[in-house]
Amino acid sequence: MDLWEPSLVHASGGLQYTFTILDEATGWLYELQLRTKDQAFGRFVTWHSQNGIHIKMVHSDCGGEFLGKNFTNFLEAEGIIQRLTIHDTLERNSMAKHVHHTIFNTVHTLVAKSSLPPFLWGKAHKHAIYIYNYSL
């Protein structure tokens, strides 16, 4: 899991963050779009309850959104092991970083080649996720 830091341009609906959840077992990518960082916990809980996926472990960086008491208590209550990277070692969370790089290169290309206004990056992002998942 990783949170992509705020976009300089807000997407439709004021969205500026994306929360990446990569299922290492299947390679399937889930991206939740957020207005603010503090929405990460609530969106994770909703995503977890709606998908019916049994999660054994989550791996993330040491971002505050993953270290909050609500988040850690929820993981513990669900029996989910939390693995954190060492601070300032991006390579330890390289799968999520690689996915961010791949998806946002696709988003930039889609927006630039289609001459869409930059605030539509959220729509291009959803399309990039679709392309990513169905090209596995």
User: Helix/strand/coil (H, E, C) string of the chain?
Assistant: CEEECCCCCCEHHHECEEEEEECCCCCCEEEEEECCHHHHHHHHHHHHHHHCCCCCEEEECCCHHHHCHHHHHHHHHCCCEEEECCCCCHHHHHHHHHHHHHHHHHHHHHHHHHCCCHHHHHHHHHHHHHHHHCCC
- pLDDT, residue 77, reads 95
- Asked whether the predicted pLDDT for residue 93 surpasses 70, the reply is no
Can you give the residue ranges of every domain in the chain?
2-133
Q: Which residue has the tokens 């992002």?
A: 125
Q: What is the pLDDT of residues 40-87, one digit of tens each?
A: 999 999 999 998 888 999 988 888 888 899 999 999 999 999 998 876
> What percentage of the chain has pLDDT greater than the value 90?
42
**Domain 2-133 coded CATH 3.30.420.10:** yes
Q: Are strands 57-60 and 81-84 parallel, antiparallel or unpaired?
A: parallel
Name the more confident of 111 and 94. 111
- State the average pLDDT over residues 104-115: 91
Name the more confident of 73 and 95. 73
Is residue 65 within 8 A of residue 37, CB to CB? The reply is yes
- pLDDT, residue 48, reads 93
- pLDDT, residue 92, reads 55
Q: What is the pLDDT of residues 27-40, one digit of tens each?
A: 899 989 999 998 99
